Amino acid sequence: MLLRFKSSWELQESASTPESVFMDRRRLVRAMSIAPFLGIGTTLPYRNANAVMADPTKRFYPANRNPLYRLDRSLNTEKDVTTHNNFYEFGSHKFIAKEAQKLKTRPWTVTLDGMVEKTIVIDIDKLISKMELEERLYRFRCVEAWSMALPWTGFPMADLVKFASPLKGAKYVIMETFHDPDVAKGQKQFWYPWPYQEGLTIEEATNELTLIGTGAYGKPMVKQMGAPLRLVVPWKYGFKSIKSIVRFTFTDKRPVSFWEKVQGQEYGFWANVNPAVPHARWPQDTERVLGGGGRRVKTLLYNGYEEQVAQLYRNLKGENIFF
Ligand code: MTE
């Protein structure tokens, strides 16, 4: 496959970095220089320097931005997004960033199996080098009614499905996170059905919006966000966007996802964002913008992606497509 990436040595950083990321860095430097006078803490975004420097795919970043995906709001800072995470494998609270650094992301093998022409077991770096990475700005909406907007890097899941060559009868793809309770202490909590699993229909998986995320903010994915690869489905509640995936299994049976197994009345298979359908515990009509000092904005149907995805659900009868 033809790669369109420039090596990191071909361009100066200011020229190779997407403008908004570059501007964000400049703003960050400026903010840091005035922060002490404002009495604001100067804590930098949590970074795992070793992981970023050792990542063999680093040369692919930053990827070219796909201009089709624009936002109606400003991007969150990298700090907002990397210091407030849901990753139950590392704890059932939002501050798992430090604990998640225990995850070893190399070597990392991805398996594509089930109803496919031939099972494929592939090293993550080989897989990424076969795909064409791009940057997309997406909104992200959690069922807990907080939201953010960020620049993901990744490749269309449609390309992965093509690479897997599923058989004609395959209707769903199940995704599975690593399982290693010695590293991820949360996986010792026996009442959760580890490993974390999620599923999409093949039509959802091949929708133009569906990304396999490999990075964010112009860099490889940090561990707390689901390195080395995760799902990004911006029209669905955040729990569908499974992190640190090791397996994609094609099947003709609808899978039961992690949270659906835990609490089926609250978390269903579809989980499409809809402000008019409240969740048992969180009203969904508005959302708290992460890093926005408590600011709330109106939630949009399909999180604002109705045009791209509404047709996926038009002919579904008797399904609760919003939870
Ligand atoms: N994937 C795994 N493996 N484990 C998790 O606990 N949490 C989900 C989703 N993917 C989760 C996961 C939930 S509930 C949300 S809201 C998002 O990840 C959060 O993604 P973020 O931490 O990058 O914001």
How far is ligand 1, taken at its centre, from the CA of residue 135, in Å?
Answer: 20
Question: Do the Cβ atoms of 65 and 150 come closer than 8 Å?
Answer: no
How far is ligand 1, taken at its centre, from the CA of residue 97, in Å?
Answer: 12
Strands 109-114 and 245-251: parallel
Quick one: pLDDT at residue 122? 98
Structure tokens at 300: 């949009």
Which residues lie across from 114 on neighbouring strands?
250
| Cα(208)–Cα(309) distance, integer angstroms | 9
Mutation probe of ligand 1 site: the residue of 87, 88, 92, 221 with most atoms within 8 A of C-beta: 87
Q: Three-state DSSP class for 254?
A: coil
Question: Do the Cβ atoms of 98 and 85 come closer than 8 Å?
Answer: no
Q: Three-state DSSP class for 258?
A: helix
pLDDT tens for each residue of 6-52: 322 223 333 333 334 433 433 333 333 333 333 333 334 444 544 44
Quick one: pLDDT at residue 37? 33
pLDDT tens for each residue of 124-179: 999 999 999 999 999 999 999 999 999 999 999 999 999 999 999 999 999 999 99
Structure tokens at 195: 């490993």
| Cα(313)–Cα(317) distance, integer angstroms | 9
pLDDT tens for each residue of 234-275: 999 999 999 999 999 999 999 999 999 999 999 999 999 999
Q: Three-state DSSP class for 216?
A: strand
Residues 6+ apart with CB under 8 A from 4: 64, 132
Quick one: pLDDT at residue 112? 98
CB atoms within 10 A of CB 166: 21
The yes-or-no verdict on residue 310 having pLDDT over 90 is yes
The phi, psi pair for 169, rounded to 5°, reads: -75, -5
- Residue 86's pLDDT band (cuts 50, 70, 90): very high
DSSP of 106-159:
SS-EEEEEESBSS-EEEEHHHHHHHS--EEEEEEEE-TTSEEEEEEEEEEEHHH
Q: State pTM to two decimals.
A: 0.85
Quick one: pLDDT at residue 35? 35
Q: Give the closest residue (by CA) to ligand 1 atom 11.
A: 87
Q: What is the overall mean pLDDT for the chain? A: 87
Token pair 């969150």 in the structure block, residue: 76
Token pair 């022409």 in the structure block, residue: 117
| Atom number of ligand 1 nearest to Cα 140 | 24
| Cα(267)–Cα(259) distance, integer angstroms | 6
How far is ligand 1, taken at its centre, from the CA of residue 239, in Å?
Answer: 5
pLDDT above 70 covers what percent of the chain?
84
Quick one: pLDDT at residue 46? 46
Ligand 1 pocket at CB < 6 A: 85-89, 142, 177, 196, 225, 238-239, 241-244
Virtual torsion, Cα 301, 302, 306, 310, nearest 10 deg:
-110
- Residue 315's pLDDT band (cuts 50, 70, 90): very high
213 vs 17, more confident: 213
47 vs 318, more confident: 318
